[in-house]
Amino acid sequence: MGRLIPTAKGLAWFRKGHPWIFRNDLAKIQDAAPGSIVSLEEKNGKFLAQGFYSEHSKIAFRLVSRSQERIHLNFWKERVERAFHYREAVVEKTNAYRLIYGESDGIPSLIVDRYADHFVLQTLSQATEDLLDLFTKILLELFRPSSILLRNDLSVRELEGLPQEKKIIMGECPSRVQVFEGTIQYLVDLWKGQKTGAYLDQRENRAAASRFLRGRVLDAFCYHGLFALHAARHAAQVTGVDSSQEAIEQARENALLNGLANTEFRKENVFSFLKAEAEAGRHYDGIILDPPAFAKSKENVGGASRGYKELNLRAIRLLNPGGILVTSSCSYNLSESRFLEILRECERDLGATLKIIEKRGQSADHPILLSFPESHYLKCLFLEKIH
């Protein structure tokens, strides 16, 4: 087994509980094969932990175990089973959810999403790439899925020196799979859809938001229309807006699938649409903002903050008094405190008064590690415009 010895800074960082050690925080790398399990040790040889070693990535070490236990097939099988038992406890009224969420489930850099009996995997490091056959064997034994699709079409893999690819591992994966979420049904393209096919992390927020949304509702950045479909169960009229024609067509098909005639979906630039609606004097009783990540790095936070402020300003301006704003940020680099500050700035600039109804995050199948802030990225706020 290879050995890694951290610098004093790296050791202090590790003792705080974070599951990663960066390459520039290593004092020595000895006999560490790319993608292998290595031993993390102090300079005097005292054992600290075992974890994955990456040859190319800035993240050189990913924690697997703080003990010297043997890491073999049964070790990983137990971790997968534990992850599944947790989902059995927290996932309700759906057959589409995240089964394994990397570090949060003790299996660093592995993502497994389940859509009915079709599984989608992502291996985001050299180690999980090398262990793909083992994880496939475990999933087949425990769940007997109809298909397993590898969706490794992510740019982050380049940081590991790994190619982007999509391929079937086993079975036959249809072009689209029908799943359910609460009272709605929707279609997912596992081959081409965002992430592994759908935004599973907003599932609980979509259901919760529908309790508050009435009257005329706007779903901005609607993608496949899932917020809109939930809202349409109680709202009088729901309009979904997205810049992708493919997404709009899928949203329309999902509305038809659910027999929801009080929805419309439009291909528009959201910022331009909000501006045009204000100029036309139109207003809404509820607005949902679920934009893509504006801050993909710390360097982007300044520009992202301006983008989030402009977006929320335009939305709040369109809300009727008593109207509900459901606003999200999936940018890890933009903290919750900064997001709240942006909304306070909007309130002040507009002379409006906003009341927080709920502060929410990602769905429970995306668990957050206390010592791993990177696992907590989604912020979702329900606000009422008092005046």
- SS3 of the chain: helix, strand, coil, percent, to 5: 35, 30, 35
Residue 346 annotated as catalytic: no
Pairwise CA distance, residues 313 & 318, whole Å: 9
- 302-351 pLDDT tens trace: 998 999 999 999 999 999 999 999 999 999 999 999 999 999 999 999 99
Strand 354-360 vs strand 379-385: parallel, antiparallel, or unpaired?
antiparallel
CB atoms within 10 A of CB 302: 10
| Amino acid sitting at position 191 | W
**Inter-CA distances, 341 with 308, 309, 331, 335, 348, Å:** 11, 10, 15, 10, 10
Report phi then psi at 92, rounded to 5.
-130, 145
pLDDT tens figures, 162-203: 999 999 999 999 989 999 999 999 999 999 999 999 999 999
The model's pLDDT over 7-20, given as tens digits with 9 standing for 90+, comes to 999 999 999 999 99
Distance CA 331, CA 317 (A): 24
CB 181 within 8 A of CB 226: yes
Which residue intervals of 233-269 are DSSP H helices?
245-257
Active-site residue identified among 222, 330, 346, 380: 330
pLDDT, one tens digit per residue, over 35-74 is 999 999 999 999 999 999 999 999 999 999 999 999 999 9
